[in-house]
Chain A
Amino acid sequence: MHLKYESTLREPLVDGVKDYHKVTEDIIGPIEAKPGKLWYVGFFISLSLLAFGVFSVTWEVYFGTGVWNLNKTVGWGWDITNFVWWVGIGHAGTLISAILLLFRQGWRTGVNRAAEAMTIFAVMCAGQFPIFHMGRVWMAFFVLPYPNTRGPLWVNFNSPLLWDVFAISTYFTVSLLFWYSGLLPDFATVRDRAKTKLRKLLYGVASFGWTGSTKHWQRHESLSLVLAGLSTPLVLSVHTIVSFDFATSVIPGWHTTIFPPYFVAGAIFSGFAMVNTLLIITRKILHLEDYITIGHLDAMNRVIVLTGSIVGCAYLTELFMAWYSGSQYEFAEFYKYRAAGPLGWSYWIMMTCNVITPQVFWFRKMRRNIMVSFIMSIIVNIGMWFERFVIICTSLYRDYLPSSWVYYRPAWPEVGFYMGTFGLFFTCYFLFAKYFPVIAVAEIKHVLKTSGESFKNDMTKYEQESPEKFAHDLEHAH
């Protein structure tokens, strides 16, 4: 008998009749097979986007940030919008793997590997924007506090922008470690199954010589648990600190205490949407419908409707406070230049995509509909991009001096840079989907006998036991 007993009323996490070997075959199989035509097409498109991005960035570095349409009034445009958007997307992975681990949400096992990979790639994309916004990018290392010949003159530890440097780099490092520590046993599985010499060599190196010893598993469990405990406040801190970039300033529309929880909810909202976008395609192409079930999509859509509603409440709170505070600048910002004004259209795209459309997920039928989930996941990410655009650009384009009011639209290198990060993101994701186990094999095996469909039927005998007997057996198991 397993240590954990799960009610038959709960939906199985793994569909179909499976044993441990079948799980390995299903998940590792695609790594050993040749990729399909679709993979090559997608990979080539991603690479082309990446190449265009590299070209746009080279252009910007060569001629200077002047080639972007930023100006004295709108000093942060698409670049910082994209930065916050990508960082936000990068929040779902660690949330799924860390917070849901602590909350003992079994469904995380099916999606955590891909979500964490997505997190790492998204943070990689996010990092490009502030770095290249510096203009003289070869001096980017000036943000680090290192002994230098300028005094040493140190960085300003009071500045939220410096906090960001620490927050993003810590987040990236810890997510990477967490992800890789989970990958070690799965790489060992690929290695031990490998038929070709090259695969044995590469996965042998990547698996660090993992053998599956009981003592190692014990330490591995302890490591995962502590890393989850550390990552949980870390996830919340990262977008909190990103929101401080705005909240600690004195710009109307930025200077609000609501920002940290509002940004964190928004980040989870967009992150889960991106997880849905990717996994709906991945499960279809790699035939992983048994592991990423409709139940998984349902759970993620619930998170989307919850966080979407939190974000909606935040929008309304902002509007209320703009009026109730009695500050004429706040009032003008929200009612004249966001909801109306030349960039007002972006505000209404944001409202529609983030607040109105996600309400369809109150209906179970919609949450469990793949097409609706997929379309909604894209709508949500469009909405969340516009949220950042609204926060950044519509707060800046009408400043205190009407003579410097401008309209802002991006120049081609800004658009190209953004497309380039899509290229980077999807290039990495395509490589991941081909060469990495996209589902945590060991973790699925761990829950298989309690949550697998074929094993759940055997639970009936436990359900008919008296609670006292069950508790006694559980206590004296092993």
Chain B
Amino acid sequence: MAAKKFVVGCFDDEAVLFPAVKKVRAAGYKIHDVYTPFPVHGLDQAMGLRETSLHTAGFIYGITGTTTALSFMSWVFVSDWPLNIGGKPHFPLPAFIPITFELTVLFSAVGMMMTFCYLCQLMPFVKKHVFHPRQTDDKFVMVIEVTSKSNAGEIKDFLASVGAAEINEQIAETGWWYGRFDREDRLYAEQPAPLNV
């Protein structure tokens, strides 16, 4: 990944944040991300994010579980070792239902969780840049990337005009790296790591 320059605006209230997101987008600035302490409904649409397909993945994992359970139990009882259990049929479909159901749920849940962690790049010892220490507490933090077509001062003024309570500039890594939150990591040799404490 790479270090980029950002303008960070903190909002105190989601009611101020929504119109601000709209205005920033209309003005053509590139919103890197908005960090919120809780899921703010409608913010993803306001930012123009695509709907997630995670539930589709969950469905696919689910039918994988169904197929695995049914085919495995059938193979065991019909082909691999057709054991006579009290004269019961070798393919007792109703008796297979409970395990089939459980495996459907298990595959779907575990698969979705792993996909979620993969997509969001979440894992123990994964570290990302935290733009504001209170973005997980009570602040709504809008991060705008400073590109070659925009300049930081202009963005700062614009953010102030749409109601940001606290505005600053940060140079930060955009991706994740292996690290610990109790240490400041120097990610780049040529420039000091951005300190935000």
Interface residues of B in 55-92 (CB under 8 A from A): 55, 58, 62, 72-73, 76-77, 80-81, 83, 85, 88, 92
The answer to whether A223 and B113 touch across the interface, beta carbons within 8 angstroms, is yes
Interface size class of B (residues with CB under 8 A): 35 or more
* Residue in chain A with minimal CB distance to B133: A192
A248 CA to B36 CA in the complex, in Å?
51
Interface residues of A in 1-50 (CB under 8 A from B): 1, 3, 19-21, 24
* Residue in chain A with minimal CB distance to B46: A478
Name the A residues within 8 Å of B40 (CB-CB). Answer: 214, 217
> Which residue in B15, B116, B119, B128 is a CB contact (below 8 Å) of A211?
B128
Q: Does A218 contact B (CB under 8 A)?
A: yes
A193 CA to B37 CA in the complex, in Å?
13
Interface size class of A (residues with CB under 8 A): 35 or more
A178 CA to B106 CA in the complex, in Å?
12
Q: Does B52 contact A (CB under 8 A)?
A: yes
* Residue in chain A with minimal CB distance to B108: A230
The answer to whether B76 and A154 touch across the interface, beta carbons within 8 angstroms, is yes
Q: Does B35 contact A (CB under 8 A)?
A: yes
* Residue in chain B with minimal CB distance to A448: B38
Q: Does B24 contact A (CB under 8 A)?
A: no
Q: Mark A235-259, 1 if CB is under 8 A from B, else 0.
A: 0010001001000000000000000
* Residue in chain B with minimal CB distance to A444: B38
Shortest beta-carbon distance from B79 to chain A in Å: 11
CB contact under 8 A between A218 and B126, given known A170-B105, A223-B54: no
Q: Does B112 contact A (CB under 8 A)?
A: yes
The answer to whether A215 and B33 touch across the interface, beta carbons within 8 angstroms, is yes
Shortest beta-carbon distance from A176 to chain B in Å: 10
Q: Does A354 contact B (CB under 8 A)?
A: no
A173 CA to B114 CA in the complex, in Å?
13
Q: Is chain A's interface secondary structure helix, strand, loop, or mixed overall?
A: helix
Name the A residues within 8 Å of B170 (CB-CB). Answer: none
Q: Is chain B's interface secondary structure helix, strand, loop, or mixed overall?
A: mixed
Q: Mark A198-227, 1 if CB is under 8 A from B, else 0.
A: 101101111011111111111111110111
> Which residue in B38, B62, B96 is a CB contact (below 8 Å) of A442?
B38
A33 CA to B38 CA in the complex, in Å?
24
Interface residues of B in 130-187 (CB under 8 A from A): 130, 133-138, 176, 180-182
Shortest beta-carbon distance from B154 to chain A in Å: 24
A91 CA to B36 CA in the complex, in Å?
32
A214 CA to B106 CA in the complex, in Å?
27
Q: Does B99 contact A (CB under 8 A)?
A: yes
Give the number of A-B contacts (CB < 8 Å). 211
A365 CA to B46 CA in the complex, in Å?
46
Segment of A64-72, A119-127, A182-190, A325-333 engaged in the interface with chain B: A182-190
Interface centre among A20, A24, A162 (most CB of B within 10 A): A20
Interface residues of A in 150-200 (CB under 8 A from B): 151-154, 156-158, 160, 162-163, 166-167, 170, 173-174, 177-178, 181, 184-185, 188-189, 191-194, 197-198, 200
Q: Mark B28-42, 1 if CB is under 8 A from A, else 0.
A: 000001111111111
The answer to whether B136 and A185 touch across the interface, beta carbons within 8 angstroms, is yes
Name the B residues within 8 Å of A24 (CB-CB). Answer: 37, 137-138
The answer to whether B124 and A174 touch across the interface, beta carbons within 8 angstroms, is no
Q: Does B127 contact A (CB under 8 A)?
A: yes
The answer to whether B33 and A213 touch across the interface, beta carbons within 8 angstroms, is yes
Nearest 5 pairs between A and B by C-beta? A204-B181, A20-B138, A209-B126, A208-B122, A217-B39
- Which B residues are within 8 Å of any A CB, using their own CB? 15, 18, 33-47, 49, 51-52, 54-55, 58, 62, 72-73, 76-77, 80-81, 83, 85, 88, 92, 95-96, 98-99, 101-103, 105-106, 108-110, 112-113, 116-117, 119-130, 133-138, 176, 180-182
Q: List 13 A-B contacts (CB under 8 A).
A: A145-B72, A154-B81, A163-B102, A177-B113, A178-B109, A193-B137, A194-B181, A204-B182, A211-B135, A226-B54, A230-B105, A442-B39, A446-B38
* Extra 16 A-B pairs, beta carbons < 8 Å, given A205-B180, A208-B123: A19-B138, A24-B138, A156-B85, A158-B88, A170-B102, A185-B38, A191-B136, A210-B136, A211-B128, A219-B120, A230-B62, A230-B108, A233-B105, A234-B105, A442-B38, A478-B43
